[in-house]
Structure 1
Amino acid sequence: MVGSGRHGAALGATLAGMTTDYLTRAELRRSGLTRRSIQDAVRSGALIHVRRDRYLTVEADDMYVRAVRVGGRLTCLSLLGALGVFVLENRALHVHIDPRGSRLRDPADRRRRLRLAAAEISLHWSALLEPVGQACTVSVVDAAAHAIRCQPPRAAVATLDSLLNRGLLTRFDLRRIFAALPARFAVLEHLVDPRAESGPETFVRLLARSLGCEIALQVRFDGIGRVDLVLDGWLVVECDSKEFHSDWAQQARDRERDAALAALGYTSLRFTAAMIMYRPDDVLAALRGLLAAHRTH
């Protein structure tokens, strides 16, 4: 509840749409609020006193609140996952901290100092490529740069594929990111392909590349539809984008597609997302065995 009267109206105008930026006490005062009305807004729940001189509206996303309370901004896998971008897995709160930052606090309590050993949190200390003022998050460009450092190479490429596929990054952004990263990451830039429509698809593409396959992506067959990958011109590989099995109706449609592809002389191989992401050696062995058997005939 914002309140009533002149101060309530001032607070309502100040908070309108303010769910991704924080405000300082000075800004609240300049908007017409008094010290007392700020305190009342915090007590009523209209404002969250996140940390010293940092206020957010109650509608702000909880991850934003927790990141600002620590003393920084949401970034990396936490931000990208919230945007629907592929990340391999994430259990931590990823927070960017200014290199000059200090007085880090527990994400659940602004009165307690941060104890990294007791919190699932990952801190990113770096200068930003794109300053963001009082935003509760870094830019997508900086989140991508952090995610490259935070994940294994295949997962990093899959994240970048997802960002480009969704239009959240451009090739120009990609060049800026890799120009700012240590040289050891440069090889990953040339592996990015925005045609990939899921993280598992990227994983399989990279595994197939390591086998020296000829790879075609997102191939369309008349009367059948589009398939994820075709290897060496004959092996169709389909990648389940979900970690768990699809329903029976979908499985029946998949079998019909496999039969239609077989009638055209193609062999189909399907992998679940869990197998692709967590048992890549088994996927690689299956691809290697099937390709080798075909090449000997």
Structure 2
Amino acid sequence: MNASVMKKVRRVAERQHGRITWAELRKAGVSESQIRRLCGRGWLVREHRGVYLVGHKQRPREATFASALLTMGDDATLSFHAAGAQWEVLRGAVRTTVTIPPGTRRRGRPTITVHRAELPPEHVTIHRGLRVTTLVRTLLDLAAVLPLSRLERVFEQAQVLHKLDPDELAAEVLCRRGYRGTPNLRAVLEGAVDPAAVASVLELRFLRLCDAYGIPRPLVNEPLGPWVPDFRWPGAWLVVETDGKAFHATAAQRRRDAEKDAWLRERGYTVIRLSWSDVTRDPAATAARIKAALAGAR
């Protein structure tokens, strides 16, 4: 990436307290692959969906993790809960946990939990500038210490944020028969779907609902005119929108939802909006509603 592009990025970020959006990066001439590389090097730090901090700016927790790695040596690796937090799949306060090779004399600190294990090179990576277990290895480790319900939420976040391929995790589980936590991982993988196109956990759960109740797979987040419907069955002229709080809570967001619905209905589409409760608490009734709409279009 040339200097003029970097200068454009810095100029935009300086106007926005060190932050820049994905769209602004692309407009400045940064390719998608370059964005991924800059994130991997820690020069861009993902703060929110589509929003990045520019220029090696670490949040307090990452500074704590970096300090722990420096304290424990070059071969120390963030693992377990700390790795989950670094990958942003584990929410809330976490203890700083690192894995070091067995046989070393280094000890933990009051604020650092130490695990001793030989990590294969393929289970270690650099993410947002810090040495950490890979996402798959992190899930394997967390499966041994988290209850199933929390592990399911972690797995969903991994699919949505990082497009984790369930087959990749399943292959690792097969190689680790007898490993503590594999029964929970098998249970999680039973309901897994391909996360390639989804943008939220709610969308992921709706796809799982479709699979569980025999509903034909829709098109997912494919543009239609000026809009991007969440789920669309073109042959049935049906659109389903999943309304999570993050993107449908404000008055402006609701106005856009209404404009989108009106545009779709003017062109002959039936639009069904589903809440988190519809998808997670009453899936049978929701599935029946979708099936009825599909049948009515035939």
- Offset, 1:197: 2.2
- Offset, 1:293: 4.6
Report the secondary structure of 2:193's partner residue.
coil
- Residue by residue over 1:15-38, the C-alpha shift from the partner in whole angstroms, topping out at 9 and shown as x without a partner, is xxxx99xxxxxxxxxxxxxxxxxx
- Offset, 1:208: 2.6
- Measure, in 1, the Cα distance between the counterparts of 2:84 and 2:61: 20
Report the secondary structure of 2:222's partner residue.
strand
Larger Rg, first or second structure (1 or 2): 1
Report the secondary structure of 1:137's partner residue.
strand
State the partner residue of 1:142.
137
- Offset, 1:126: 5.5
- Residue by residue over 1:190-219, the C-alpha shift from the partner in whole angstroms, topping out at 9 and shown as x without a partner, is 633322222222122112321221122424
- Measure, in 2, the Cα distance between the counterparts of 1:295 and 1:132: 46
The alignment of Structure 1 onto Structure 2 pairs a total of residues equal to: 219
- Measure, in 1, the Cα distance between the counterparts of 2:208 and 2:96: 27
Whether 1:248 aligns to 2:247 is: no
Match of 2:119 among 117, 128, 134: 128
Report the secondary structure of 2:255's partner residue.
helix
Unaligned runs of 5+ in 1: 1-18, 21-57, 109-113, 115-122
Report the secondary structure of 1:250's partner residue.
helix
- Measure, in 2, the Cα distance between the counterparts of 1:75 and 1:67: 11
- Offset, 1:254: 0.7
Q: Which amino acid aligns with 2:272?
A: S
Q: Which amino acid aligns with 2:262?
A: A
- Offset, 1:261: 2.4
Change in CA separation of 1:79 and 1:294 when aligned onto 2, cut-off 3 Å: same
- Measure, in 2, the Cα distance between the counterparts of 1:155 and 1:94: 20
The answer to whether the Cα contact below 8 Å between 1:234 and 1:266 also exists between their aligned partners in 2 is yes
State the partner residue of 1:92.
94
- RMSD of the TM alignment (CA)? 4.5
Change in CA separation of 1:136 and 1:161 when aligned onto 2, cut-off 3 Å: closer
Whether 1:239 aligns to 2:239 is: no
Q: Which amino acid aligns with 1:281?
A: R
- Residue by residue over 1:197-256, the C-alpha shift from the partner in whole angstroms, topping out at 9 and shown as x without a partner, is 222221221123212211224243532422222369455333345547532112101111
Q: TM-score of the superposition, structure 1-length normalised?
A: 0.54
Q: Which amino acid aligns with 2:97?
A: V
Unaligned runs of 5+ in 2: 1-40, 43-59
- Measure, in 2, the Cα distance between the counterparts of 1:170 and 1:295: 29
Match of 2:195 among 193, 196, 200: 193
State the partner residue of 1:261.
264
Whether 1:178 aligns to 2:173 is: yes
Change in CA separation of 1:179 and 1:73 when aligned onto 2, cut-off 3 Å: same
Match of 1:158 among 156, 159, 163: 156
After superposition, where does 1:73-112 map in structure 2 within 5 Å? 73-76=77-80, 78-83=82-87, 85=88, 87=89, 89-93=91-95, 95-98=97-100, 100=102, 103-107=107-111
Report the secondary structure of 2:232's partner residue.
strand
Change in CA separation of 1:220 and 1:138 when aligned onto 2, cut-off 3 Å: closer
State the partner residue of 1:47.
none
State the partner residue of 1:35.
none
- Measure, in 1, the Cα distance between the counterparts of 2:222 and 2:125: 45
Whether 1:222 aligns to 2:220 is: no
